[in-house]
């Protein structure tokens, strides 16, 4: 899924980018409201995280523009403590509101809650249960490992895009992992043994993707 994070604090943007990418999100960054709108107009954004006070165009105005033209989720960030400001943001159409300072992990959790309309996703005959963190085939528990579940979740979040082995290592294993890239191949092979061959596509010399349409 695509997430836009717009804030004029560069260090915060870098930290949040790391947190969100490790969870499999494709992250766009903007340092002002004008840049945020340009990204919105040119990309399919599932969630926009907007700082209230930004140069050029305020986060509130960006939120209003987004909501007038799309169903993109919006989460507002602000250092303000006035409840009237929170009410104004919600009236404009913001889906959630987080006051600064905050822990990046808490923001990530709030973002995931906004995006996860469905706790269960079906891909062919595979059921992905995000709440239980389990994979099922014909309603039989496949006993997927934590890594296998995170791999399929990562591919789902980037459905339609090819992920390199390095990208998968960074997201699933973490940036501090220094093992071989072929580790990914081993886990993909084991995952395929459980879910079948027709779900994850191999792109020789490039990486892996999940192309199958989700069925509600």
Q: What is the mean pLDDT of each run of 10 residues along the chain (216 residues)?
A: 92 92 89 94 92 88 88 85 67 83 88 76 88 91 94 82 87 76 94 93 92 50
Distance, in Å, from the CA atom of 202 to the CA atom of 187, rounded to the nearest integer, reads: 13
Q: Please give the pLDDT value at position 34.
A: 94
| Beta strands in 47-182, from DSSP E residues, in sequence order | 47-51, 73-78, 96-99, 120-123, 126-129, 134-137, 140-141
Cβ atoms of 12 and 36 closer than 8 Å: no
The domains of the chain are located at 2-115, 120-210
Q: Which residues contact 116 (CB under 8 A, 6 or more apart)?
A: 130
3-class DSSP state for residue 79?
coil
Distance, in Å, from the CA atom of 47 to the CA atom of 137, rounded to the nearest integer, reads: 30
Both tokens of 184, joined, read 């990914």
Both tokens of 89, joined, read 């943001």
Distance, in Å, from the CA atom of 73 to the CA atom of 115, rounded to the nearest integer, reads: 8
Instruction: Give domain 120-210's CATH number out of 2.60.40.1180, 1.10.260.40, 3.40.50.920, 1.10.10.10.
Output: 1.10.10.10
β-strands 73-78, 96-99: how paired? parallel
Cβ atoms of 47 and 195 closer than 8 Å: no
User: What is the helix (H) or strand (E) element at residue 49, kind and residue range?
Assistant: strand 47-51
Q: Please give the pLDDT value at position 14.
A: 93
* Domain made up of 2-115: CATH architecture: 3-Layer(aba) Sandwich (3.40)
Q: Please give the pLDDT value at position 215.
A: 41
Q: Please give the pLDDT value at position 13.
A: 94
Cβ atoms of 152 and 206 closer than 8 Å: no
Q: Please give the pLDDT value at position 81.
A: 62
Q: Please give the pLDDT value at position 216.
A: 39
Q: Please give the pLDDT value at position 22.
A: 84
Query: Half-sphere exposure (CA, 13 Å, Cβ side) for 22?
Result: 15
User: What is the helix (H) or strand (E) element at residue 13, kind and residue range?
Assistant: helix 10-22
Q: Please give the pLDDT value at position 210.
A: 87
Q: Please give the pLDDT value at position 198.
A: 86
Both tokens of 170, joined, read 């960074």
Cβ atoms of 177 and 150 closer than 8 Å: no
CATH topology identical between 2-115 and 120-210: no
Cβ atoms of 123 and 151 closer than 8 Å: no
Q: Please give the pLDDT value at position 149.
A: 94
């Amino acid at each position: 899924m695509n997430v836009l994070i717009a804030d004029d604090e560069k260090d915060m943007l870098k930290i949040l980018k790391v947190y969100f990418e490790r969870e499999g999100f494709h992250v766009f960054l903007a340092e002002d409201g004008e840049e945020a709108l340009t990204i919105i107009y040119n990309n399919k954004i599932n969630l926009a995280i907007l700082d209230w006070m930004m140069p050029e165009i305020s986060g509130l105005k960006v939120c209003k523009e987004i909501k007038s033209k799309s169903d993109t989720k919006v989460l507002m960030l602000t250092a303000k403590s006035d409840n009237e400001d929170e009410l104004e943001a919600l009236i404009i159409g913001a889906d959630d509101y987080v006051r600064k300072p905050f822990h990046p992990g808490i923001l990530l959790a709030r973002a995931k809650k906004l995006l996860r309309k469905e706790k269960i996703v079906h891909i062919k005959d595979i059921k992905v249960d995000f709440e239980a963190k389990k994979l099922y085939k014909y309603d039989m528990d496949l006993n997927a490992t934590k890594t296998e579940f995170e791999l399929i979740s990562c591919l789902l979040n980037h459905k339609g895009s090819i992920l390199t082995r390095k990208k998968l290592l960074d997201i699933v294993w973490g940036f501090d992992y220094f093992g071989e890239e072929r580790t990914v191949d081993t886990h993909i092979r084991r995952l395929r043994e459980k879910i079948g061959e027709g779900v994850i596509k191999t792109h020789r010399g490039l990486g892996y993707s999940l192309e199958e349409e989700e069925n509600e």
